[in-house]
Amino acid sequence: MKILLMGNPNVGKSVIFSRLTGAHVISSNYPGTTIGFTKGKIWIEGKEAELIDVPGIYRLEPFSKADEVAVKMLEEGDLIINVVDATNLERSLYLTMQLLEKGIPMIMALNMWDEVKHKGIQLDLKKLQSFFKIPIIPTVAVAGEGIKDLVLRIKDAVPYKIHHHTDEKRWADIGKIIKEAQIITHRHHTFLEKLGDASIIPQTGLPIAFFILFFSFALIRFVGEFLIQYIMDPFFYRFYGPLISKLVNIPFPAGVMHDILIGKSSNFIESLGLLTTGFYVPFGMVLPYVFSFYLILSFLEDFGYLPRLAVLTDNLMHRLGLHGFAVISIILGLGCNVPGALSTRILETRREKFIASTLLCISVPCMAQTAVIIGLVGKYGLRYVFLVYAILLTIGILVGMILDRILKGGSPEIFMEIPPYHIPHFGTLAKKLGMRIKEFLNEAVPLVLLGVLLINVLTILGFMDFIGTIAGPIITRIWGLPQQVVPAMLIGFLRKDVAVGMLGPLHLSVKQLVIASTVLTVYFPCVATFFILLKELGFIDMLKASCIMISVALLVGGVINFLWI
């Protein structure tokens, strides 16, 4: 049996899904699309059934790709668990009535039941039951209340079909139900409600956003660096490195295969070996930041802050040809460009994905790169660090405005339900974090290995030296940088932070450091991001984006060089 968990966005479906399923769930894309969903197993009276967390939807007339997927999934379901926000019946019941018109067996989880009393709402469950003729179970998903009753009552769900309503008749019936089954009394706003209101008003929302983002990235950097310094580096350099060297030296003591597998350096970053750099980059350098970033992101997501941030930035995003929710991809990119690139899947149109991906690559340095930039440029004063990021921000805004004008189409309006603030459920956070890390590793590790192998092959064939010969005049004459910067530029294709770090021994002036740091961010994404975007955008669009990146890098490096006083 296939059970569909359906409801509006932000009604607690994911928490109920986490409560109903075990630890083993599968995250995948719907066939033929990039729309993701999760599925797991649930046992009903000793029999195994498949539970699918369908993308949130407001009505069965689709407005986006996610809506289309949700409607298609409805055709495949044997039973529906309709999750309804008990504090916002008027909005939620429209979808409920449309689902009942399909005649599929259904049971209703009346979620956020604890918030009903807090908001001064009285609901008559008997009257609701008489209207809908289906089992209705009050639930508090974050606390697990009502979940057992929900499972026990699934067997009572039988086919019940109401006649097809017109849109006007449907709303009229909902109004009648609300009038007879719901009473609202006066009450005082809670602290979280006041904070939620303040988070969306520009006068107070922008300072709150600045504080939350600053604190979040400070915490992300602290946790990431802690994991690298005290867990990852000791493991790789004290245990993994010596062990893998001994194992490889037995069949390949020296030669090309040894260099491809291990490299020529004892430094995991510089060695460019498949078994050294290929594993150290995704696990030792990126994973700690991805872990800490997704941990904070999942908390903010389940707490209810991200929709407010999207609304707060929607006007700016529209000027760049994007929907307000594209800010999530930008935020993810600041942690690591790989999850940022993956998150462009949430955007509705191909045009938006192209603009967001291009802006992500040319103006959003990852957290690891940020740390290196601060270390190198910051020693000359924080004003030069701010200068680098001011230039990147300006580039992002200008390129976004240009792409918005020249690309056909428009960015859709933001239709997003803003949920109340909730204290997240730890189990759901842990499960979501595990799925995201698994998805990151599945996507990133093979691509990094492929990129390292490609660089090794090109180096053996002498192609890297050829690129260096061609790029040398551009780097020295247009950007004003010494010839020694060429290797860093080439390594930048593998890891941007490593490339910036290679500038340290070159004793560059502050002007040259600002130019090199800016150009390294703009000119091309790292290999993992490149291959993910190649998969998401396709070869032609990725080629277009690459041309934009290289052109902007040439222009910006030259402008800084010639205008620097």
- The per-residue pLDDT for range 193-230, each reduced to its tens digit, is 788 878 888 888 889 988 888 888 778 778 887 898 89
Q: What is the mean pLDDT of the chain?
A: 82
- The per-residue pLDDT for range 381-425, each reduced to its tens digit, is 888 888 998 999 999 999 999 998 888 876 665 556 677 787 887
Alpha-carbon distance 4 to 325, whole Å?
A: 26
SS percent in the chain: helix, strand, coil, step 5: 65, 10, 25
DSSP string, 53-91: EPPP-SSSS-SSHHHHHHHHHHTT-SEEEEEEETT-HHH
- In a domain, residue 163? The reply is yes
C-beta separation of 79 from 155 below 8 A: no
Tell whether 207 and 152 lie within a shared domain: no
Q: Give the type of residue at 16.
A: I
> What's the maximum distance between 2 C-alpha atoms anywhere in the chain?
83
Tell whether 212 and 165 lie within a shared domain: no
- In a domain, residue 193? The reply is no
Tell whether 182 and 220 lie within a shared domain: no
Tell whether 303 and 399 lie within a shared domain: yes
For residue 108, name the pLDDT band (cuts at 50, 70, 90). Answer: very high
Tell whether 443 and 414 lie within a shared domain: yes
Alpha-carbon distance 406 to 173, whole Å?
A: 47
pLDDT of 80 strictly over 90: yes
For residue 29, name the pLDDT band (cuts at 50, 70, 90). Answer: low
Tell whether 27 and 124 lie within a shared domain: yes
Alpha-carbon distance 151 to 154, whole Å?
A: 5
pLDDT of 325 strictly over 80: no
- The per-residue pLDDT for range 336-371, each reduced to its tens digit, is 777 778 777 767 778 888 898 899 888 888 776 776
What is the model's pLDDT at position 482? 84
Alpha-carbon distance 113 to 123, whole Å?
A: 10
Final residue belonging to a domain, choices 161, 187, 213: 187
- The per-residue pLDDT for range 515-538, each reduced to its tens digit, is 988 988 888 787 777 877 887 788
- Take residue 562 and report the two structure tokens written for it: 């010639």
pTM of the predicted model as reported, rounded to 2 decimal places = 0.66
- In a domain, residue 343? The reply is yes
Tell whether 29 and 117 lie within a shared domain: yes
Alpha-carbon distance 542 to 8, whole Å?
A: 34
User: Which residue's structure tokens are 């239709």?
Assistant: 415
What is the model's pLDDT at position 187? 63
- In a domain, residue 196? The reply is no
Tell whether 168 and 211 lie within a shared domain: no
- In a domain, residue 463? The reply is yes
What is the model's pLDDT at position 551? 92
Alpha-carbon distance 271 to 248, whole Å?
A: 14
For the domain that residue 57 is a member of, what is the CATH number? 3.40.50.300
- In a domain, residue 420? The reply is yes
For residue 186, name the pLDDT band (cuts at 50, 70, 90). Answer: low
- In a domain, residue 194? The reply is no
Residue 52 belongs to domain spanning: 2-187
Alpha-carbon distance 188 to 464, whole Å?
A: 68
**Number of independent structural domains in the chain:** 2
What is the model's pLDDT at position 48? 85
Tell whether 238 and 99 lie within a shared domain: no
Q: Can you tell me the mean pLDDT for 434-461?
A: 76
Query: Starting at the edge strand that comes first in sequence, how are the strands of the sheet with 106-111 ordered?
Result: 26-29, 36-44, 47-53, 2-7, 79-85, 106-111, 136-138
What is the model's pLDDT at position 99? 93
Q: Which of 167-171, 271-275, 421-425, 492-496 comes out lowest in average pLDDT? A: 492-496
pLDDT of 22 strictly over 70: no
Alpha-carbon distance 278 to 227, whole Å?
A: 19
- In a domain, residue 197? The reply is no
For residue 83, name the pLDDT band (cuts at 50, 70, 90). Answer: very high
Tell whether 92 and 54 lie within a shared domain: yes
Closest CA to 440 of 558, 337, 546: 337
Q: For the purposes of burial, counting CB atoms within 10 Å of the CB of 547, is it exposed (0-12), middle (13-18) or buried (19 or more)?
A: exposed
Higher pLDDT, 441 or 101: 101
Decide the pairing of beta strands 47-53 and 26-29: unpaired
Q: Can you tell me the mean pLDDT for 40-63?
A: 86
What is the model's pLDDT at position 416? 60
Size (the chain), residues: 565
Tell whether 168 and 228 lie within a shared domain: no
